[in-house]
Each structure stands twice: as C-alpha cells, then as structure tokens.
Chains A and B, each alone.
Chain A
Amino acid sequence: MSVAPLLEMRGISKRFPGVVALDSVDLQIVRAEVVALVGENGAGKSTLMNILGGIYQPDAGEIRIDGQPVKIQNVNDALCRGIAFIHQELNVLDNLDVAANVFLGREPVNALRLMNRNKIHADTEPFLKRLGLPISTRTRLDKLSLAQQQMVEIAKALSLNARLIIMDEPTSSLTLSETKRLLELVRELSGQGVGIIYISHRLGEVDQCADRVVVLRDGKNAGELPRSEATHDRLVNLMVGREIKNFYVQSDSQKTAGFFKVRNVRSRLYPHRPVSFDVARGEILGFAGLVGAGRSEIAKAIVGLDASPAKEIFLDGEKIPIHAPRDAIERGICLVPESRRTEGLIVEMSVCENVTLPSLRRLSRCGLIQRKRERDVAARQVDSLKVKTPGVETQVMNLSGGNQQKVVLGKWLARQPRVMILDEPTRGIDVGAKAEIYRLMRELAGQGTAILMISSDMEEILNVSDRVAVMHEGEITGVLERADCTEQNVMQLAVGKKIPAAKPAFEN
C-alpha cells in the first residue's frame, strides 16, 4: 500500500518586484524522512520555506499534504496543518518561562478564565522529556543557552502536533557538542514519524542527518542526491553550477615559527586562565573549541578590546604594548570580528567609508579627509576582493553576506596586516564566497601574514588550518599538527581530554 507523501510542492513559482525568487520548484517529503535543503544565498530556500510556513503565497504551483491539495493562507493555517517553522533567529520570549513559551497563545485556562498554572506545566513536561531536555518547565528562557532555547521551540512545535518541522540553519549558533545533540535529535524525531526539512550551509552536517539532499540554484531545482551520493564536491557542484577546483587550497608557503607570540593573555570569561601560544609566519592556525571555550574573548583581549594588562605580545621578536585596539591596528594586528553586522561593519555607511575607517588618518592631511585617495583605496579593495557592489558609495547593508564579509576583510587588508585574526570568517556565507575567502586566506599566508582562524565549522577547521589549537574552558588543551587533525582528536581536546597527539601551544 503506497501512502501519499507527507508533503508535495509542485511547480512553485514566486516573484517579487524585479526578481524571480522561485521558478517552478518541486519538493517532496515523506513521513519520517529528513530532507536537507541547500543552496547559495539567494537560491530560494527561504522563500520556498516561507511559502510552506504560510508567510508568502505562491504565484503558481500547488501544495499537497497527504495527497490533498491545500492552500496555506497564513502562519496559523500552516500550524493547524502541522507545519512548524523554527527560524534561524529564534522566536522565543526570554522573559517568560518554558511552559509559557510552549503554550503561547494557547494557555490552558480554568473556570475563572485565568491561566491554569499547574496544567500548563504538567502539559509541557512530556515534551521536554521526549527531547531529553533536563530542565524545569519553570525556567525562564533568558537563563537557558541558545541551544536549549532552540529545544524549547522544537518542544513547542511538537506540542502543536507538528508533522513537518522546518529548521532554518539550526546549528549556526550552537557549540560542537550541541550540534551533535541536535543532529541526533533530528534523527530521533524522524524515527518518531516527523518529517524534517533542514536548511543549512554546513554540508558536513547535512550528510550526517539527511536522507536526501535537495539543491536549489537561482530559484530552480538544481538536483537531488540521496545521502549515499551526497559528497561535498558533488553538492558544491550542484549549488554553484560549476566545479570549484581546490575548494580547500593546500599550503605551500614557507613558515617561520615564533613569528607571532602571545603570552599570558587572559579573557574576560576566564580571568584566571592565562593563555599562551605561537603562530608561525605564513601559517593558518585554526582555533577550535566549543562555543563558550573563550576563543573570541581571547582574540578580543589580544587586540586590546578587552583589558588584559599582564599579556605580552611579540611580533617578529619585538614586544608590542597593546592597551587599546588602536595599538594593535597600528602594528598590523587586525581582528575580523565574529558578528559582521554589529562589530565588523557600520551597515548604514558606504563600502568606501567602511573600508577606510581604520585608515583615515593615513588618508588625511591636517585632519581633513582626502576624498580621492579614500575612494582609490576602497576601489582597489573592491577590485582585488571582487566585491559585488554597484559602486563604492553603496550602503553596505545592501550587499549580500558574503560581500559584506569581503568588505570587512578589505578594511583590514588595506593596512597590509602582519597578523590577521579571523573570528568565524565564513559564517552564514554561501559556498562560492566561502571558496574565495579560503583562497584569499591562503594567499595572505603565502605572502607572510600569520593567520589565526577561529571557527566552529569542523570541516573548515580540518581543511583550512595548517595546525589546530583547541580550547576548552579558557585554556588551550593542545595543538594538533596537520597530520593529526582528525575530527576525533579535535573533539577530544575540545571536551578537555588530553591526547598523546596534542602538542604544547608554545615553546619558550
């Protein structure tokens, strides 16, 4: 007996003024299946899912649930039909507790029309149990980690009897172990009969949990691969429409050890754990670790954004006093921060203004900015980084994520840095731009810049780094040489176990 698929989307098209977002796209999912939806930014994944979630109406095409054609009028309608959408930016109310969030809008009431406190907590319990979440239903959401908040959203979806859960980039803010837990959960849920559509940029995760991978490109179906055939290269091929040779570029540069030495830097998170390490000239040192291990905080302390008075920084043998970010920048130590929209860029300003911001003094005379020189510097960076922008006067907020990241890089490259610290350089960036950024990093290293790459993307860590330093709760548990860089080893060090392959982070 063949059962109609849980969901069938056929020939879905959607147009917005000036752009065709979706062009006759098909998507199908059966009960208990996990389908990964991948594609570059702008490929149409979000639009397709927004149609499914009731946020948009398709211009053409039909949607069938259990074989019956339906029209999903609005978000409520989608929920009633059993479709739950867990967005990348969580929609939780962090001043309320778990139970209140799960039953938001459907609070059980007693005879006096007042909220039935006992019932709401009793009803929420089973869902938390099902997810293996060991917290009380009375916990306020702002006391939970992002991963736990996400679980609460999933609990909400389950409480709504969701038969199909759409997860949009669920792991982008999770630690390595939380990611693992989520992927296990995805498989558990699908084992319980729930269909799951999983949108992600992290191809490594996709092949851990998906049964099938659907690829969109430029608003159209670009292909589909069952798990067994979904290799990284084949997926990238479908996503980009061409072969990206050497996605991960191998290193061939000369490396001189001890070029950049960091001694006794203490982060805000772990003020009692001094950290020391060396980076060789021309090397890409990956910094792995669970979120909360203190990597970003160490980076901020190194460049002087956070105070760490006892630290000592040596560049090419010379001691560099760093009390404020300006000191680090003047000596060629630059930080590309984790959050490009809030820390890396001033999005309302133009490409030109952003690129020249740290270098204005050099581009001015008697305190007045020399506009022509400024434009030249910006144009040169846009050119060399191939930033897709209508011009240097375009506001940065109008660029795509990948191009915005290139502007951030351009800002620092304009100063010809000797040390670049990159915090999650390719987060939320599509595949094409990722490859370009890796190539750029390799090129920089080849020119003699020491690069520190903080990343939560295992693939990135394993493939891009020359060596990997792993942090756990504020200390470096060990450094792995390229030959010893395996997922196993990194994970072990990340949870604090010492392994024989780990080398010390520095030599005196």
Chain B
Amino acid sequence: MEALPSLPNVAMKNGRIQIKKQTKATIVMRIVLWTLFAMTVIGPFLLDYGEIDWAEALSLTLGNLQMMFLQPAFNQITFGTAMMQIGITLALAFLATVLGAVISFFLAAFSARNLSPAWLANIIIASNSFVRAVPTVLWVLIFAIVAGLGAIACVLGMMLHTIAYLTKAYAESFEELDEGTIEALKASGANWWHIVWHAVIPQSSSYIISWTFLRFETNYDVAVAMGAAAAAGGIGFELFMASSFYYDLHEVGMITYCALVVAILLEMISIRIKRHYLGKA
C-alpha cells in the first residue's frame, strides 16, 4: 500500500516519506565519505612491499613485542634509578605547570571578557592561539637555541605551551562568573583587584584546580618525550638509551611499564579531583 503524503511539502522517495530532505551538502558529504572509504580499502594493495616475507615479518614483530611486554627486565639501570628518573620527569612537568599556572592566572584575568577591555583580551587571545598552534616539542627546540638542549629548554618550552593552554581554560571559567556579582562589588566601590581576588577566585577555584592538574598530567606525558628529544633527562632519556643505544627491548618494556603506572596514577588522581571539585560546582 502506498502512503500518500498528507502535506504538499513532504518529500517522497519510492513511495516512502523522507525524514530528511536531501540537500547539496548531504550529497557532497556522502560522496566524500564513500571516496575516503574506497581509498582506505584500495590503498594497502598499491604499496610496494619489496621482498617482505609476511610470515617471517609477523613472527619477528610478535617476538619483539613479546620481549618488550612479556619479559620486561632491568639490565643497564636498576628499579631505584628508574624511579628517580621518573621523579625527575615529574619534577620537569611540575615546574612547567606551576610556573605556567601562575602566569596564566594573571593573563586569564586580563583576557576574560567580563574583566578586561576587549582590545587587551583580543591581543592575549590572539597571541595565545599562535602559541598553541605550535607543538610543545617545537617550542622546546626553539628554546634550546638560547638555553641549549636540556632541562631548562624543556621547562621553558612546556611552560609556554602551558601558559597558552591554561590562560584559555582559566579565562573561560572566569567568564562563567555571574555578571551581577561583579556589578555588586563595583557598585560598592571595590576596585578591579578586589573583585578578582574576592569574587573571581573563590567562584572559579575548583575549575582552576582541575584544569591545572589536567595540564600537569599532559605535561608529564610531554616531559617523557622531551627527555629523549631534548636531552632533558628523566625517564624519557633512559628510554631513549635503552632503545636506540643498547637495543635492549626487555628494558624498553620495563621502563614503559613504569612510566605507564605513573601516568595511570596521575589519571586516577585527576579524575578524583575533578569529581570532588566539579561535581559539587
């Protein structure tokens, strides 16, 4: 039985009522998605695989993975050294986060739309998005030109990226502040600093804490990579030595596990903090 549309503007196709109307945009989107899908499927068949023996390649890869993750062991370093190196990595992340957070706080106060004039806010927001567009690794390497490769360049580079990230996060939580609260304090003769300190901070402190810790977690991940890439020391450097210098896959596995456990711990703390502060917000 064919359903007849009760309204003149209802779209029909093969005697069925259409829920969505086909527009140019939906057709283009569909063509793009199907093309991408086809390319993904065809792609691997077009690669040049040379003389690879698939069975051998697969068994060797699995063997390496097995060595790494099923037989982890310390050979060149001890568990104590690993822990100390993780401590150094955490310290790098901590330093970059704390320094960045303090500077971010002031920049955020100057770039929140409800606290600052538009021109100042726009300047800070624009330069921030520029800083954020450049990856952290690149900033570290840029700072390495002046500070030399090592911990200082690493902290400076991570700090810069942290500032750009946290300023945005803080400013957004400042902007959540009820306009009336600012008005009330202004009307009683309070100046800008009074308002920031006694209305903005108490109202957004929980956001500040959880954003800061989230960034600390990110900075730890980055600091691991920086240990290798910028010779900043820490567990990342040990990982680099174990893999590229000693070719010791057992140790690579062990170090990965150590770094992973700390990352998971941080993640758990971060979730706790978020639930504790933001849950009640």
B is bound to A: no
> Which B residues form the contact surface with A (CB < 8 A)?
none
> Which A residues form the contact surface with B (CB < 8 A)?
none
